[in-house]
Amino acid sequence: MLTLSKKFNTSSSFFKKLVLKHLEQLEIIAEKRFVDPNLTQESIMYALEKLEEKNWLADSYNNKSSRFTTYLITVFKNILEDFARMKFGRPQVPKWVKAQGTLWVEIYQKLCIEQIPITDIEYSVSNCSKISSVVQQAISSILDKAKQCLKERRNKYEGTIFDETTIVDEKQLSAQERIEMNERVHIMNAIYLAIINNKTADKKGNYELKTLISKFRSKVQLSSKDKVFLKLIYQEGLTISEAGKMTFKFNKNQSNSKHRQLKQKIVKLLNETGLFEKIKDLI
């Protein structure tokens, strides 16, 4: 960590260089906050603009007793929350959620307002010391009670192409399990349509789609282990942790990290190749 001496350069150019030296660290913080790669990049650009407006903190830091890194991260996180309010508005959190404490409020915002995928919420919440069961219990309880939230998430994630491995009796599932199932279908459809194999691409008269899929496949370049990892999750129905342990001998955090990286890579390439625009109505 960098601590500035009592005699330090107060020019904005000096502080700009200082901020940009921390850019990789700031990107990690933004990715953890928003998960979605597009929102992450947008939030970083927004934050850098705001930091520039603040003269790169040259005026406000004034050699405070805290390390500059600590001060920068605090300011950066506050700017990210300003960005979130700008994108999603101020959250109207029910009293029964507030009564459970700040962790539940944060989960409610990510679950019902920002609609982050359930598989990413545990990674995204700020209090990483909380055990998984606590976070999962909060998610399940919120979805069971917040009916409008449940409805909106189902509308967002429910797929229209169902593989036979996803056909289950929804009446036997909890609210959380239904959401997870639909999110899994949503992502699985995109992955299977573009990566593994899908007969839709071979239908007569669908040459454009077939061409886009070929273009995508030539760029995606997943390793054989990555493909097995995804297949275990989206075809065999294993949890991310189980698939990571079986494929890579990863622990839970490593498995979730690998899953996020692959998902972001796939989404990025779907957009870059134009395939997402072609298939989005199907997923």
Whether 5 maps to a domain, the answer reads no
Q: Are residues 80 and 110 in the same domain?
A: no
Do 163 and 51 belong together in one domain? no
Q: Between the CA of residue 158 and those of 45, 112, 131, 188, 233, what are the distances in Å?
A: 31, 15, 28, 11, 17
> Are 228 and 182 within one domain?
yes
Model confidence pLDDT, tens digit, residues 82-140: 999 999 888 789 999 999 999 999 999 998 898 887 767 877 776 555 566 788 788 88
Q: Are residues 276 and 166 in the same domain?
A: yes
Whether 217 and 113 share a structural domain: no
Over residues 27-83, the pLDDT tens digits come to: 889 988 887 778 888 999 999 999 999 999 988 887 666 789 999 999 999 999 999
Mention every residue, 6+ apart, whose C-beta is less than 8 A from residue 47: 26, 30, 76, 79, 80, 83
Instruction: Please tell me the distance from the alpha carbon of residue 190 to that of residue 151, in angstroms, as a whole number.
Output: 22
Give the separation between CA 228 and CA 230, rounded to whole angstroms.
5
Query: Would 153 be classed as within a structural domain?
Result: no
> Could you give the number of structural domains in the chain?
3
Is residue 7 domain-resident? Answer: no
Structural domain including 139 reads 101-147
Q: Which of 197, 189, 204 is nearest to 278 (CA)?
A: 189
User: Which pTM was predicted?
Assistant: 0.54
